[in-house]
Amino acid sequence: MDNAAVQAAGGRPRVLVVDDERSIVDFIRLGLQYEGFQVSTAADGQAALRQISEFKPHVVVLDVMMPKLDGLAVAEAVRGNKDTGVIILSARDEVQDRIKGLDVGADDYLVKPFDFGELLARIRAVMRRRNPAAGPTLQVQDVILDEASREVSRGGRAVVLSGREFDLLRLLMMHPNQVLPRERILDQVWGYNFFGDANNVEVYVRYLRQKLRDERHQLIQTVRGVGYRIKA
């Protein structure tokens, strides 16, 4: 999730993906969920407007060519909503198409085929532009993590963490109640090029439990043979 400057309910930013191509929707949804976003989907423009009203996304990723109501009409309908950004995702790559999309109120325009990493970066950028003053905050139980200041507290008590401890806690809090395998934790906290021992994860989980006063493991739980989860 990086430093998307928005505080979402439950600590996770919300993205609505609107496209009538199921394969594209599933590809984006799975990628964003892996990055810690809450994701909802719609297959046409009318359903998108209902989801915008109910789901209240921070960003809408929106195809142009859709049944019932096209993406340009949806973008124009969202135009007055200062809390919701729009990224048009379209196979149309002519300059005039881009201009038309931006003119109706879209924050950004990305042409298919696209790289998921670029889409992710643009989503984060739109969030930062939409709400530059908001501090990205995660909360699970009485633990609050501020990504901007890298401060953590539990029950109002400040908790001082090392950089690695902070990154590990952040990853767990991005996925409340979800079991994260040790290998995934190593990849995302230590990096894909890390060649150390998987026991590093166990050691740092122990550090976190000590600092968060989680002696009975009611916050950070071990799932034997798999990994760890943080209980919301």
Secondary structure of 11-57 in HEC code, one letter for each residue? HCCEEEEECCCHHHHHHHHHHHHHCCCEEEEECCHHHHHHHHHHHCC
Q: Which domain holds residue 208?
A: 137-230
| Helix and strand element counts for the chain (H, E) | 8, 12
User: 82, 102, 130: which is the final residue of a domain?
Assistant: 130
Same domain, 72 and 174: no
Same domain, 160 and 120: no
Comparing C-alpha atoms, which of 224, 141, 134 is closest to residue 179?
224
Same domain, 88 and 180: no
Task: For residue 51, name the pLDDT band (cuts at 50, 70, 90).
Answer: very high
Please tell me whether the overall predicted TM-score, pTM, comes out greater than 0.85 for this model.
no
User: 67, 101, 130: which is the final residue of a domain?
Assistant: 130
Report if residue 220 sits inside a domain: yes
Comparing C-alpha atoms, which of 131, 130, 63, 137 is closest to residue 101?
63
pLDDT tens per residue across span 107-116? 999 998 889 9
Q: How large is the average pLDDT for residues 157-173?
A: 93
- Is residue 196 scored above 70 in pLDDT? no
Same domain, 115 and 180: no
d(CA 157, CA 149): 16
Q: How large is the average pLDDT for residues 156-168?
A: 93
Same domain, 17 and 125: yes
Same domain, 162 and 224: yes
The predicted pLDDT at position 2 comes to 36
What is the count of structural domains for the chain?
2
Same domain, 17 and 72: yes
The predicted pLDDT at position 96 comes to 84
User: 130, 164, 196: which is the final residue of a domain?
Assistant: 130
Report if residue 3 sits inside a domain: no
